[in-house]
């Protein structure tokens, strides 16, 4: 009997002691952790404030982003530690590891890369009229890329959906197929007439729409068009008729929704040379942003509107092999080569030339050589050259991930474009700001922007 009483007393004392001891804090569940976004829908050039709340003070977490596009999946992640209040604010907190590091509110977006087992490739929107559906999720602890669940709405402490779009509400996409011309016209919301933009990409063999749709979201009527290896258009650059580019410009200038007295252009790669040709032949082109562009049109010599055009031809013997089946075109043209640079300055248009210093397709020395050919009084007042250390060839609108290399449909080979992820991402933001400021200034843009300005 005494033994039983002693046992009960001991158990009671142990129970009291256990209640007095500090209890281990339970791990937060998905019901206690939450993700707060400053916006759940945004244009691609906007920065989003992402906050995670309901964590333990000092807790280590992994924040991941995931999206699916054109049959491929892309992901990114950052490692964070919660503050004493159990909060991680990506706007001010540094990523301690992952696909990006440091304080970077948009690191989750520009550092996206194909997920494990998926062939690397350029992330580009196939349908710009629909948004990217980006899943933002929080995982406990610091996890690595291969261990994370790369699926929509992944198992996690918390998950939310963010939509990012190239098109503002009200933007109209109008397919064009007239008199041999094939392209897409993007019109802002409203009746216009709007300032016009001719958008000329390189030798891709597709119509790349994201830049035009973004500019239409800022109040411009933008025309982007195919010109090679598309439907019944020429197959190779040597078959191009440069009169086609003038036809595209004239079509835009004559459109009833376009202010023909306010037309500018944006271009890149081989599209740069074709745009300079347009500027030489069409006084109505008031300004142009040329991004990593060639300084001469590429193709075969022929006569356009009664004048002989002597373009540059590909010097394939100068293509430098990289990793076997990939090539760099950086040495394709040298400043010492005798290339005919169109006299784009003769009508007084304004120009910005953008050059990534790690461009592996266009030699940065070429734009410097072009500058030496321009009359001094003109270049002093009408043109600017901006160099970006660490930036590669494919400079997109803000917060797009770097495409360092991919397959070119026209040349039928893998091309190295260059670029280092963080400097390239920063360059994209700055180039976009410069582009909008430049176009607004020179085209007397009076249409209010439909979205906030991009942020670093």
Count other Cβ atoms within 10 Å, centred on residue 240.
Answer: 23
Indicate which residue of 159, 359, 424, 426 is catalytic.
359
293 in helix, strand or coil? strand
Residue of 450, 432, 423 lying closest to 396 (CA atoms): 432
Q: Residue 113 and residue 66: Cα distance in Å, rounded?
A: 9
Indicate which residue of 79, 255, 393, 399 is catalytic.
393
First to last CA, the chain: 78
Q: Which residues on neighbouring strands pair with residue 88, listed in sequence order?
A: 52
Q: Residue 64 and residue 75: Cα distance in Å, rounded?
A: 7
Q: Which residues on neighbouring strands pair with residue 385, listed in sequence order?
A: 353
Verify whether residue 45 is a known catalytic residue.
no
Verify whether residue 393 is a known catalytic residue.
yes
Q: Residue 428 and residue 395: Cα distance in Å, rounded?
A: 6
Beta pairing, strands 320-322 & 326-328: antiparallel
Indicate which residue of 167, 269, 290, 361 is catalytic.
269
Strands (E) located in 333-404: 350-356, 383-388
Cβ-proximal residues to 449 (8 Å cutoff; 6+ apart), any chain: 218, 219, 436
Verify whether residue 27 is a known catalytic residue.
no
What is the four-CA torsion angle of 268, 269, 271, 273, rounded to 10 degrees? Answer: 110
Q: Which residue has the tokens 């008031």?
A: 286
Q: Which residues on neighbouring strands pair with residue 81, listed in sequence order?
A: 60
Please give the C-alpha separations between residue 6 and each of 16, 115, 288, in angstroms, as whole numbers: 16, 63, 93
Is the peptide bond preceding residue 193 cis, with omega within 30 degrees of 0? yes
Burial (0-12, 13-18, 19+ Cβ within 10 Å), 90:
buried
Structural element, H or E, at residue 426: helix 421-442
CA 294 to chain centre: 20
Residue of 88, 80, 154 lying closest to 115 (CA atoms): 154
386 in helix, strand or coil? strand
CB 184 within 8 A of CB 252: no
CB 196 within 8 A of CB 209: no
In this structure, the chain runs to a length of 456
Q: Which residues are known catalytic residues?
A: 269, 359, 393
């Amino acid at each position: 009997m005494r033994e039983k009483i002693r046992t009960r007393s001991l158990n009671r004392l142990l129970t009291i002691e256990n209640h007095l001891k500090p209890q281990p804090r339970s791990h937060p569940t998905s019901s206690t952790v939450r993700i707060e976004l400053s916006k759940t829908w945004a244009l691609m050039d906007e920065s989003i404030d992402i906050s995670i709340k309901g964590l333990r003070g000092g807790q280590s977490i992994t924040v991941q982003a995931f999206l699916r596009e054109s049959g491929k999946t892309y992901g990114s992640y950052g490692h964070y530690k919660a503050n004493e209040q159990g909060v991680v604010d990506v706007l001010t907190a540094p990523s301690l590891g992952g696909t990006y590091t440091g304080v970077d509110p948009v690191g989750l977006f520009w550092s996206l890369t194909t997920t494990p087992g998926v062939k690397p490739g350029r992330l580009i929107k196939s349908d710009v009229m629909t948004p990217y559906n980006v899943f933002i999720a929080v995982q406990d602890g610091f996890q690595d890329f291969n261990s994370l669940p790369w699926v929509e709405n992944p198992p996690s402490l918390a998950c939310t959906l963010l939509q990012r779009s190239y098109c503002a509400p009200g933007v109209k996409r109008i397919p064009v197929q007239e008199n041999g011309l094939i392209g897409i016209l993007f019109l802002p919301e409203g009746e216009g007439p709007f300032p016009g933009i001719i958008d000329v990409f390189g030798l891709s063999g597709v119509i790349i729409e994201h830049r035009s749709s973004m500019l239409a979201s800022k109040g411009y009527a933008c025309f982007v068009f195919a010109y090679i290896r598309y439907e019944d258009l020429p197959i190779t650059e040597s078959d191009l008729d440069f009169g086609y580019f003038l036809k595209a410009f004239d079509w835009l200038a004559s459109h009833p929704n376009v202010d023909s007295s306010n037309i500018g252009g944006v271009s890149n790669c081989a599209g740069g040379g074709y745009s300079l040709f347009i500027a030489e032949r069409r006084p109505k082109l008031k300004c142009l942003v040329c991004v990593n562009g060639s300084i001469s049109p590429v193709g075969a010599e022929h006569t356009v509107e009664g004048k002989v055009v002597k373009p540059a031809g590909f010097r394939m013997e100068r293509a430098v092999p990289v990793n076997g089946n990939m090539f760099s075109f950086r040495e394709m043209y040298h400043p010492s080569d005798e290339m005919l640079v169109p006299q784009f300055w003769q009508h007084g248009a304004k120009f910005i030339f953008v050059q990534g210093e790690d461009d592996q397709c266009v030699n940065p020395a070429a734009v410097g050589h072009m500058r030496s050919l321009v009359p001094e009084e003109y270049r002093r007042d009408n043109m600017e050259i901006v160099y970006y250390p660490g930036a590669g060839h494919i400079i997109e609108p803000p917060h797009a991930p770097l495409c360092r290399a991919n397959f070119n449909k026209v040349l039928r080979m893998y091309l190295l474009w260059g670029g280092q992820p963080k400097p390239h991402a920063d360059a994209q933001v700055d180039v976009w700001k410069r582009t909008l400021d430049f176009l607004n200034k020179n085209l007397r843009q009076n249409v209010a922007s439909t979205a906030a300005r991009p942020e670093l």
